[in-house]
Amino acid sequence: MEVVIVPDAAAGGELIAEALATLVRRKPEALLGVATGSTPLPVYEALAAKVRAGEVDASRARICQLDEYVGLPAGHPESYRSVVLREVVEPLGLDESAFMGPDGTAEDVQAACEAYDRALREAGGVDLQLLGIGTDGHIGFNEPCSSLASRTRIKTLTQQTREDNARFFDSLDEVPHHVITQGIGTILEARHLVLLATGEGKADAVAQAVEGPVAALVPASALQLHPHATVVVDEAAAGKLKLAEYFRATYAAKPEWQGL
């Protein structure tokens, strides 16, 4: 696992946007896995700016979703489908046909989960999966004690995650209890995992994920099992890393040609 400590969220966004742009230049039809929440927004803004400036042609890129609420009506502004279309697909100038995600409105949720895992495989697999991290260490919506081998499936949110996400809704009561998420085993199949964490509120979760044991209790610690995982953190989110100086020195000495 590589840990990159950046000065702030904007620098993290720029770094990851450049990694995405490099990938798309090499593989124009790359399948980019995106995350929701506030953290990745600087990545999407920086990537869209590169597209507008003609630094990268993303017109053949494909976008896939990590997770989804169950039961929000189609078109609900806070369904993750709506969020990804609004924050990623449209700003990149892509058509909705370039987007794939699990169906949170399906009557048969289990069948929708299996169909999504199948669709990801048939699409050739995810080239780069961007991840955020929950304050409890979750990735996607894999809450603590999710199986490290899990596939896309339905999960029940913890009260903490519902409270964290209530800011996107009019009240806590409106936050769904159930979600569909790519499983940890599904996420680990992406060719490159990039987790971005910013702010002091993520410092404990980051330290446990990066320097703690691999444990289902901290789902993000599963990144330790991946051969190409990059964790990008700002100074505040890096605040509890014991090896911070080592991570800084390693990145400072990294040959530029390696990229992320």
Selecting among 14, 18, 103, 143, the annotated active-site residue is 143
Q: How far apart are the first and last CA of the chain?
A: 11
Cα 155 from chain centre: 17
The two tokens of residue 146 are 């999710």
Selecting among 67, 87, 103, 127, the annotated active-site residue is 67
Whether 90 sits among the annotated catalytic residues: the reply is no
CA distance 36 to 72: 16
Nearer to ligand GLP, 13 or 132 (CB): 132
The CB-of-41 to ligand GLP minimum distance in angstroms stands at: 8
Selecting among 136, 164, 192, 234, the annotated active-site residue is 136
Nearer to ligand GLP, 56 or 65 (CB): 65
The CB-of-28 to ligand GLP minimum distance in angstroms stands at: 26
The DSSP code sequence of 199-229 is SGGGHHHHHHHHHS--BTTBGGGGGGG-SSE
Nearer to ligand GLP, 56 or 152 (CB): 152
Whether 136 sits among the annotated catalytic residues: the reply is yes
Q: How many separate helices (H) and strands (E) can be counted in the chain?
A: 8, 10
Selecting among 68, 103, 138, 234, the annotated active-site residue is 138
CA distance 39 to 131: 9
Whether 143 sits among the annotated catalytic residues: the reply is yes
List the Cα angle 88/91/93 in 5-degree steps: 105
Residues in touch with ligand GLP (CB under 6 A)? 35-39, 66-67, 132-134, 140-141, 161, 165
The CB-of-218 to ligand GLP minimum distance in angstroms stands at: 14
Nearer to ligand GLP, 31 or 133 (CB): 133
CA distance 225 to 56: 31
Whether 170 sits among the annotated catalytic residues: the reply is no
Q: Is there a contact between 167 and 201 (Cβ–Cβ < 8 Å)?
A: no
The CB-of-165 to ligand GLP minimum distance in angstroms stands at: 6
Annotated catalytic residues are 67, 136, 138, 143
